Amino acid sequence: MIKVYCDGGARGNPGSAAAAFVVYKNEKLIHKFSRFVGIATNNSAEYEALIMALDYVLEMKLLCPVKIILDSELVASQMKGKYKVKNENLQILFLKAKDLEKKIDANITYEWVSRDENKIADALVNEELDKHKK
């Protein structure tokens, strides 16, 4: 099984934003990535992290089950179909994520966890934001 921890954050809402993801295969860290996304809301940054992670899974052709772990209850619930996506900007990102999900030949599940259980991705987001302080 592949576990992918995703996180996004913004300092200000909207404000400077970054996104990150960390990939584990059989409990071993195999990849991590972060990037500055510019000015965005926290929820947009969370979706950007998810989209980057799904892009990676698609590129790597990871065919085993994939568990996406997020500390955004909103994004996790929207991706599972529990919450509607009412915000127009988030709807664009949601549809992009769903499109990527359809292209991946693997079972994908989503799980919400507390920030404490997502420390590495959270730290990567903060490192990225620190690099882009004005």
What pLDDT shows up at residue 10? 97
Mean pLDDT on 77-100: 97
Distance between CA atoms of residues 83 and 100, nearest Å: 19
Return mean pLDDT, the chain: 96
Mean pLDDT on 55-69: 92
Domain residue extents for the chain: 2-131
For the chain, report the end-to-end CA distance as a whole number of angstroms: 40
What pLDDT shows up at residue 63? 76
**CA dihedral for 132, 112, 97, 44, sign (positive or negative):** negative
What pLDDT shows up at residue 100? 97
Whether the pLDDT of residue 133 is over 90: the answer is no
What pLDDT shows up at residue 134? 62
Decide: 122 and 5 in contact? Cβ < 8 Å: no
Distance between CA atoms of residues 52 and 101, nearest Å: 12
Q: Residue 53 carries which side chain, given as an amino acid letter?
A: A
Question: What is 2-131's CATH number?
Answer: 3.30.420.10
